[in-house]
Amino acid sequence: MRPMHKTYHTLFSLTFSLFLLMDAFGNVPIYISLLKNIPYRRQLVIIIRELLIALFVIIFFTFVGNYLLDLIHIEPDAILIAGGVILFMIAIKMIFPQPREFDLDPFINKGEPFIVPLAIPLVAGPSVLAAVMIYSHQQNDLILITAICLAWIFSTLILISAPFLQKALGKRGVDASARLMGLLMTLISVQMFLDGIRLFIHK
């Protein structure tokens, strides 16, 4: 019973972490801006297509990351400590957002966006890819892939509902949701860092 409970706990934790990193709420305004001149039904097709591409990229990096970390002989405690630091830095940016590093102007009124920026880097961004590479060395492949798919499903549902969320929550509501997720990610990152320190001490 306990191993099953631990499995569910791990699955929930991974799913929640990856969902936060995909930053669906934070991406809502950008998706709306880029797709505003496209009919709603076509928007749905584009969103699902781009998110499927993002899912493929994330899963690809999950398996590549596992072999890469094995190849350079990175130990579990180092992975946990580094992962905690990386996630903490990402969480701080979520709480105190900075302007996006890429310019959206080239994508506005240029037809349908393809791969960039809706799939990469908005969903399958550096933070998500770094996280799955770290998790791939810690977790069972089946659990990690399941967590990725669940986080992707929740993100997809939010982004498909982007126009309605924007109207219901308003810009401030969307921003507040993104900051709340950043706060939760801070707690997760600190716990990961402490787990790495604990593992290092008890070697």
CA distance linking residue 183 with residue 65, whole number of Å = 27
Spatial distance between the Cα atoms of 34 and 117, rounded to a whole number of angstroms? 9
Contacts of 15 by beta carbon, 8 Å cutoff, 6+ apart: 146, 147, 150, 151, 154
Residues 9-27, mean pLDDT to the nearest whole number: 89
pLDDT in tens, 73-97: 777 778 778 778 877 887 787 778 7
pLDDT at 133 over 90: no
End-to-end CA gap in the chain: 28
Look at residue 123 in the predicted model and tell me its pLDDT. 92
Residue 67, pLDDT > 70, answer: yes
Judged by DSSP in three states, 83 sits in: helix
Helix 40-71 to helix 141-160 angle, to the nearest 10 degrees?
160
Kindly report the number of other CB atoms within 10 A of residue 153's CB atom: 14
Tell me how far apart the alpha carbons of residues 111 and 84 are, in angstroms, rounded to a whole number.
Answer: 40
Percent of the chain surpassing pLDDT 70: 89
Cα-based distances in Å from 22 to 3, 27, 58, 148, 196 = 28, 9, 11, 10, 24
Q: What is the pLDDT of residue 1?
A: 43
Query: In whole angstroms, what is the distance from residue 185 CA to residue 166 CA?
Result: 23
Longest dimension (CA), the chain: 58
Q: Which residues contact 155 (CB under 8 A, 6 or more apart)?
A: 19, 22, 24, 51, 123
